[in-house]
Amino acid sequence: MRIGDIDVLPLSDGTFVARPEYFTTRVPETPGHPFDADGVAWLPIGCFLIRTGDRVILVDAGLGPVRQTLPHDMELVGGQLPVALRTSGVSAADITDVICTHLHADHVGWLFDRDGNATFPTANIWFGAGDGHHFVDGPGEMFDHIRQGFRNGSVALRALDHDHVVTAGVEIVRTPGHTPGHCAVIISSGLDRAMLVGDAITCPVQLTEPTWRSMGDVDPPLADRTREELWRELEDEHTIGTGAHFPELQFGRVLTGQGRTWST
């Protein structure tokens, strides 16, 4: 995927085996829902590699080499990100920046190993300050070795309480609600623009099913407002977007007319 002069490569760390209960719903009649005949959606655990100038930027760090079970027979299985990076010719030492859209387990899993040592030793780790307060210092759930990694000071942590341009064409913007410090990444070059929305939108079907909330939303009403703002931005004809769990990590945008539809 090229956004103007910037190279954006979707990678998956594994699979999120989701069921309708994740959206607190049943399988709907709506066309375009992601569930198969058994009511299961096989969603990716998405990460993105952005290469521009001398920067090699990883957006989200997957679940890591673990499984995570969720209620209602759902689970996440990680482990593929290192292979995906190697296949792309990128080593851990090449990564200059990791942007975590938020600090849920399936977005920080490869930041630190079992002993809390940094996987990307020379990278800046960018994340929303609100998520640092909630997950690292507060009540949010986090694996112990990841919390230890955040606390032991061996890596350059960059907590943001404002929007921030990481390098020309790559901006981190606040999109709170799913988590307190949730961020999206806007990639822009020339007229072209792409948004990586993290889990602010879990699945494009939420466009036509606006009452479907993510089970993980920390502040559901705020998450609803943020989702609606993102849909509106994705109505722009030069803007495309995708999320960390969009089926096949496909980019798309919102078409308006008789109702709104998602087009890939």
Residue whose CB is less far from Zn ion, 131 or 199: 199
CA distance 203 to 207: 8
Contacts with Zn ion by CB under 5 A: the residue count is 2
Report the residue number, 77 or 156, with the smaller CB distance to Zn ion.
77
Among 13, 97, 199, 217, binds Zn ion (CB under 5 A): 199
Letter string b/e over residues 125-142, b meaning 16 or more CB atoms within 10 A of that residue's CB: bbbbebbbebbbeeebeb
The token pair at 115 is 């002993």
Contact region with Zn ion (CB under 5 A), list: 78-86, 126-134, 198-206, 254-262? 198-206
- The region of 72-80, 123-131, 191-199, 226-234 touching Zn ion under the rule CB under 5 A is 191-199
Question: Interface with Zn ion includes 13 (CB under 5 A)?
Answer: no
As measured in angstroms, the least distance from the Cβ of 44 to Zn ion is: 10
- CB nearer to Zn ion: give 6 or 147: 147
Q: How many alpha carbons fall within 13 Å on the CB side of residue 59?
A: 31
Residues 98-127 that bind Zn ion (CB under 5 A): 106
Nearer to Zn ion, 97 or 199 (CB): 199
Q: What is the DSSP letter of 101?
A: S
Please, how many CA atoms are within 13 Å of residue 207, restricted to the half-sphere of its CB? 26
Strand-strand pairing, 253-255 and 2-3: unpaired
- Sites for Zn ion among residues 221-250 (CB under 5 A): none
Are 196 and 187 in contact by the 8 Å Cβ rule? The answer is: yes
When the beta carbons of 199 and 217 are compared against Zn ion, the nearer one is 199
Residue type for position 240: I
Interaction site with Zn ion (CB under 5 A):
106, 199
